[in-house]
Structure 1
Amino acid sequence: MKVTQHLWFEKDMEAAIGFYTSLIRGSSVQWVSSLPAESPSGPPGSVKIAAFTLGDQRYMAIEAGPLDRFNHSFSIMVECDTQAEIDHLWDALREGGKIEQCGWLQDRWGLSWQIAPRRLGELMNDPDPAKAKRVAEAMLKMVKFDIAELEAVARA
C-alpha cells in the first residue's frame, strides 16, 4: 500500500505547490493536469490536479473551487536540523500568511505548517524529567522556535 496526502485548493494550486517544492529539499512536482471533461466543480479544463513530493512525502492536489478551507486538523510538519533552515522556511511561509504559537503558521493559502527543530523531540524526550519539563515550558512560550534558546533552557 501507498499513502498519499491530498490537498484541495480553491485556486492557485500550481503556484502553491511550486512554492512548496522550491522550499523543501528533495521535493518535486511529478505532473499537473486539467480534467478534460465537465465536472461538478466547473467546465472542462477548470479543474486541475497534480502530484508532487515534499521531501520524502507524497501528495496529490486539486484545484476545484471552494469547498472546505484548510484548518489545523491537517498540518505539514517540517523538522529542521539548523536554525538557518527554520528561519528560511518560517520567513518564506509566513509571507502573506499568519504566524501562531509553538512553531505553527498558516501560509498565504491557509495551509497550516509546523516548523520545528529536530532537536526539540530529543530534548523533550530526555531521560531527565526536569530538563524535559523546562524545554516543554520554553517551547510553549515560543512563536518561531529558537534552537539555541531551547538548548540553553535544557542546560539550565
Structure 2
Amino acid sequence: MPLQKYPFNELYGWIQDKYGLSWEISLANRIDERRPPIINSLLFVGDKCGKAEAAMNYYLSVFKDSEKGHFAGYEAGMEPDKEGTIMYSDFRLEDQWFIGMDSAHEHHFNFNEAVSFIVNCDTQEEIDYYWDKLSAVPQAEQCGWLKDQFGISWQIVPSNMNEIMSSCTPEQLDRVNKVVLKMKKLDIAEIERAYEGK
C-alpha cells in the first residue's frame, strides 16, 4: 500500500524488505498514546478473511489483562472487502499490542508456524488454562506449540524455560530435550525432574 492518508491513519504505507518480511509504516501521535513503536500485525486473508473481529474478541476474553483499542471497518463500495469487516483495529493482550485486519484481496500467504506467539506461564495451572483455551488443532500440538481456531500458532511455556535451557549441562540438556520432545502440552514438574536428574 502506498504511503498516504487512509481512514485509520494520516500517513500509512505497507512495504516488504529484502528478506521478504512485511512492514507497516504509520504516523503515530505519541501524545497520550501507549502503543510501542513495533507491533505485531495479523492480516486475515483467504478463508480467514472476515474473522479478524471474532479473533480479537476471543483473545480479549482469554487474556484477563486486555483491552480493545482503535477500530475502523470497511464501508460499502470498498469491494472486494465486505462492509463491516475490519480495515484496521488494535488490541492489547497483557503488555503486548496487536493489530488485526481483514483483506479480501488476493494474497499468496496465510498464517503458518513461521510466526508464533509465546505465552510465559508461572504455574502448571496457567499452562493448562491457555492450552485449553487456545488449542484447536490436535495434530499441530507438539513441544508446547499449538494452533488456535484462527490458524495462529502459540507456544505455551514455563516462564523459567529459558533459564533451564541456558543453565543446563550437556547431560541435563539431553535429559530435558528427551522429555520435552515427547510432550504436547508442557509439564513443568516433569521438565524440572529431568533437569534435576530425578
TM tier relative to shorter chain: 0.7 to 0.9
Equivalent residue for 1:146, pick from 151, 171, 187:
187
SS at match of 2:89: strand
Equivalent residue for 1:62, pick from 84, 90, 101:
101
**Contact persistence 1:41–1:47 (CA under 8 A):** no
Alignment match, 1:116: 157
Change (3 A) 1:44 1:5: same
TM-score using structure 2 length = 0.70
2-side partners of 1:126 and 1:47: how far apart? 45
Alignment match, 2:127: 86
Alignment match, 2:59: 20
Instruction: Say how many residue pairs are matched.
Output: 155
Alignment match, 1:8: 43
Alignment match, 2:29: none
Change (3 A) 1:22 1:142: same
Q: Deviations over 1:88-110 (max 9, x none)?
A: 1101111x434421111111110
SS at match of 1:51: strand
Displacement, 1:31? Answer: 2.7
Displacement, 1:47? Answer: 4.3
Change (3 A) 1:38 1:5: farther
SS at match of 2:112: coil
Displacement, 1:44? Answer: 4.7
SS at match of 1:136: helix
Displacement, 1:78? Answer: 0.6
Displacement, 1:155? Answer: 1.4
**Contact persistence 1:75–1:111 (CA under 8 A):** yes
Displacement, 1:127? Answer: 4.9
Equivalent residue for 1:41, pick from 67, 71, 80:
80
Displacement, 1:62? Answer: 0.4
State which drifts further: 22-31 or 56-65: 22-31
RMSD: 2.1
2-side partners of 1:24 and 1:139: how far apart? 25
Change (3 A) 1:41 1:77: farther
Q: Deviations over 1:64-89 (max 9, x none)?
A: 23733200111111111110010011
**Contact persistence 1:89–1:115 (CA under 8 A):** yes
Unaligned residue ranges in structure 2 (runs of 5+): 1-35
More helix as a share of residues: 1
Displacement, 1:46? Answer: 4.2
Change (3 A) 1:75 1:40: farther
Unaligned residue ranges in structure 1 (runs of 5+): none
